[in-house]
């Protein structure tokens, strides 16, 4: 009982400091009407952490640091819709945007699970994903792939906030799994401006 209380206090303290101890915290509420959401979360994967667990993946030879994982429509409050009704992904669109992600196969996951909820066409959704990714300045100190430990969370946050004027302190989430930084999530308005996450 005492150990559970201590763990709760530690997690509450980390949350108060704005430190993440896991993946993005919203819940999947399933399909909704396309276009009915509040804001976007841009998820950037720290590729070295991914490669540490998936050594056979093609993107692991690329020497990448942060790479686009996805652009996720979010509801106010932090939950998110998924697999909304929408068109399928045409082969021409798949080919055109396959290089957007570190692994070409990710496009087949990101469109049906998240893109369909945007209310945009596939081309519009992937163009917005690219535009929002380009709005984020990757800090110079985080452009070289290496292992980032949970102890580095504060430095990662400070580097992103310093490199991105206008990014609110509560607009950035650093994800950690198994003691290493796995990525960052940055919240955007539907018009592509930084905003606080809810």
Identify the active-site residue in 59, 93, 114, 133: 114
Which of 69, 93, 133, 185 is labelled catalytic? Answer: 69
Token readout for 58 is 């093609």
Tokens of 126: 């992937």
**114 part of the active site:** yes
69 in active site = yes
Length of the chain: 198
Is residue 48 within 8 Å of 147, Cβ to Cβ?
yes
**Bridging pattern class, strands 80-81 and 28-30:** parallel
Count the Cβ atoms, other than its own, within 10 Å of residue 26: 17
Distance CA 40, CA 49 (A): 24
Catalytic residue of the set 53, 93, 109, 110? 110
Burial of 10 (0-12, 13-18, 19+ CB in 10 A): exposed
Active-site residue set: 69, 110, 114
């Amino acid at each position: 009982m005492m150990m559970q209380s201590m763990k709760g206090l530690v997690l509450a303290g980390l949350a108060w400091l704005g430190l993440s101890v896991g993946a993005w915290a919203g819940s999947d509420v399933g399909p909704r009407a396309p276009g009915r959401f509040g804001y976007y979360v841009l998820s950037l994967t720290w590729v070295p952490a991914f490669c540490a667990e998936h050594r056979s993946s093609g993107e692991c030879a690329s020497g990448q640091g942060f790479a686009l994982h996805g652009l996720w429509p979010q509801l106010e409050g932090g939950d998110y819709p998924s697999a909304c009704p929408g068109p399928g992904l045409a082969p021409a669109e798949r080919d055109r945007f396959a290089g957007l992600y570190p692994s070409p196969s990710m496009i087949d996951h990101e469109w049906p699970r998240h893109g369909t909820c945007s209310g945009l066409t596939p081309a519009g959704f992937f163009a917005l994903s690219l535009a929002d990714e380009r709005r984020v300045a990757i800090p110079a100190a985080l452009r070289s792939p290496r292992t980032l430990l949970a102890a580095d969370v504060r430095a990662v946050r400070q580097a992103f906030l310093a490199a991105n004027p206008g990014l609110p302190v509560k607009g950035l989430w650093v994800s950690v799994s198994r003691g290493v930084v796995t990525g960052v999530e940055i919240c955007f308005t539907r018009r592509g401006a930084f905003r606080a996450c809810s």
